[in-house]
Amino acid sequence: MYGVSEIVAPVKTLRALELKRVCAAAIASLAWFALVVQVYFDISDALANNLSVTNGLVQYFSFFTIQTNMLIALILTVSFARPQAEPFLMRPSVNSALANYIVIVGVVYALLLRHLWDPQGLQFVADRVLHDAIPALYPLYWLVFHPKGRLRWIDPVIWLIYPIVYFAYILLRGAVFGIYPYPFVDVIRLGYSGVAINAMFFLAAFFALGVFFAGVDRALAGRERRLLAGLAEPPNSDK
């Protein structure tokens, strides 16, 4: 007959999958709520300043915080709806890159940006979710649920592509419209040389944190393999 471990292992796997879905749904719901609240306020601000809805949306999507939180919300929604699917956004490298980006979002906001404004009411809630809650919860979700041992040491270099493209976009947009989403990339105030120095600093931070994530991934890979090997061991069954 079957041993107890042959029955327990699939049950544990099923429970882990369900727990992953529940956590994904909870974090995604929190992120979507904050994103919707923030877009409402951005559009309202644009209309109050006699600007178009399009202008408010462009401003909204021009923030690295919004882009990163939206990608995380999308990935977690897919993870909840189709937990065994493997589209591009569900790849370990992509998920790890987003964990890297969202940590930078939280740290930069806490150190450099929080003091620049004082949101109230519902906007305060959205602000805390986007800059504090998701930067804490998503890396924890990555640590607990994402498979380890699939990252390469080259991945932190590849992850720099997105921040570089983002920097290029905001510099181009700023050159055309004179609007910069963050003070440390404000060419009007700092000049291109000052912004270039800041950009190099941020890219170095992205890379260093990426190496850290890759190191954690590799360090936990051995433990995960041992755990899976233990679950796969044939039981001492009576036949």
Q: What is the domain range of residue 202?
A: 4-232
- What phi and psi values does residue 157 have, to the nearest 5 degrees? -70, -45
Cα–Cα distance for residue pair 76/32, rounded to 1 Å: 10
150 within some domain: yes
Q: Check pLDDT > 50 for residue 9.
A: no
Of 47, 43, 87, the C-alpha closest to 66 is: 43
Count of the separate structural domains present in the chain: 1
Q: What is the pLDDT of residue 225?
A: 59
Question: 14-23, 33-42, 54-63, 142-151: lowest mean pLDDT where?
Answer: 14-23
User: In this predicted model, what pLDDT tens digit does every residue of 188-231 receive, in sequence order?
Assistant: 999 999 999 999 999 999 999 999 999 999 999 866 555 555 54
Q: Cα–Cα distances in Å, from 1 out to 151, 229, 233, 239?
A: 40, 22, 16, 5
pLDDT at 89: 63
Between 68 and 228, the higher pLDDT residue: 68
At which residue do the structure tokens 């290029």 appear? 168
Q: What rounded mean pLDDT belongs to the chain?
A: 87
Q: Is the dihedral of CA 64, 70, 76, 79 positive or negative?
A: negative
Q: Does the pLDDT value for residue 2 go beyond 50?
A: no
What is the rounded average pLDDT of the residues 75-97? 79
Residue 174 has pLDDT above 80, yes or no: yes
Residue 221 lies in a domain: yes
Residue 238 lies in a domain: no
Q: In whole angstroms, what is the distance from residue 48 CA to residue 65 CA? A: 23
Per-residue model confidence (pLDDT) at position 130 = 97
For 28, the token pair is: 């995604």
Percent of the chain with pLDDT over 70: 83
44/52 Cα distance (integer angstroms): 10
With respect to residue 239, please indicate whether it lies within any of the assigned structural domains.
no
In this predicted structure, what is the pLDDT of residue 1? 43
Residue 116 has pLDDT above 60, yes or no: yes
Q: Is position 51 within any domain?
A: yes
- In whole angstroms, give the CA distance from residue 58 to residue 63: 9
The average pLDDT across 58-63 equals: 94
Does this model's pTM top 0.75? My answer is: yes
- Top pLDDT among 85 and 135 is at 135
* Contact indicator for 170, 192 with CB cutoff of 8 Å: no
Residue 11 pLDDT greater than 80, yes or no: no
pLDDT range class, residue 35, cuts 50, 70, 90? very high
User: What per-residue confidence (pLDDT) applies to 122?
Assistant: 95
On whether residue 133 sits in a domain, the answer given is yes
